[in-house]
Amino acid sequence: MSGPSHVPVLLDRVVALLAPAIERDGAVLVDATLGLGGHSEAVLSRFDAVRVIGIDRDPQALELASARLAPFGDRFTAVHAVYDELPDVLAEQGLRTVDGVLFDLGVSSMQLDVRERGFAYAEDAPLDMRMGSEGPTAADVLNTYDAAALTRVLREYGEEKFARKIAAAIVRERAKEPFTTSGRLVELLYAEIPAPARRTGGHPAKRTFQALRMEVNDELAVLRRALPAAIDAISVGGRVVVESYHSLEDRLVKQAFVAATRLDVPEDLPFVPEGHEPALRLVTRGAEKASPEEISENPRAASVRLRAIERVTQGGVAA
């Protein structure tokens, strides 16, 4: 995502989508997935009057981002929270509405780069995968979920074709010894995924590690709560911009945006009565994707789906 040596995916396009909402005096942007602060730094650098509230559940990310953004003084505020706590964060900041909310979903480069966090499958590390410091770890999931639950997690969140086979192997192997580090899990995946399947679709551990991360951090449930809260929080002219990297995440974003822009009149009505216009409009046509050039420079951009929505009138709230 972002970091001293990492440029966030689709950075210029994200800033361009936010620009109409935040280039006014006194504008406030919530960077709901602060990470290392790459998006926030770009916004604070390019818009002199904007204030950014950065939210992250990861204390380490907050510390690093705060140091990076210290030159901007009180124009930046770091908040330790999960992004579905957006209404509470705004209340604590004395705000009823904001001008923009940005979500860059998924795992940050910092979490991938710090071996002890257990997000990466390229080297042996403790199976943690928590974005914060509370709750069950990936090892807890592997060692306690039954085969049916493991199959569901791998199939739904990892879109893993061999979910049942992998789940059965995990249950069989943990009976000999509990899973504690990523290396043993990667070995199991190489053994269980047939060779022809291993040759396509990237690293064979990619889907399983993604699934475990999403389960450990309850990512879809958090997003399901956060999207309507963000839509409700924006003022007239305000925008919500979302980058997702997983089909289930993008589907939730699409559904939330479509619901928020739906007309509340019968479909066969030949005109829209005054006062019944949607309170929000879609800014992007469908989901925007990265260019081949950006993907070649940053392979993580290959799966990004970018959507944006804008409030055009005060009426109505998100569904």
- In Å, how far are 56, 111, 150 from 33, measured between CA atoms? 6, 13, 27
Answer whether 44's CB lies under 8 Å from 70's CB: no
The bridge status of strand 280-282 relative to strand 305-311 is: antiparallel
Which residues lie closer than 8 Å to 73 by C-beta, 6 or more apart?
A: none
- Sign of the alpha-carbon dihedral angle for 294, 298, 303, 305: negative
221: helix, strand or coil? helix
Under DSSP, is residue 69 helix (H, G, I), strand (E, B) or coil?
coil
Question: Which helix (H) or strand (E) segment is 167 a member of?
Answer: helix 163-176
| Cα dihedral 129→133→139→141 (10° resolution) | -90
* Crossing angle for the helix pair 163-176 and 182-192, to the nearest 10 degrees: 130
HSE (CB half, 13 Å, CA atoms) of 238? 24
Binding residues: 37-39, 56, 83, 104, 111
DSSP letter assigned to residue 31: E
Q: Residues annotated as binding site for S-adenosyl-L-methionine? A: 37-39, 56, 83, 104, 111
Q: Is residue 290 within 8 Å of 304, Cβ to Cβ? A: yes
Give the strand order in the sheet containing 305-311.
Answer: 76-80, 51-56, 28-31, 98-104, 234-244, 305-311, 280-282
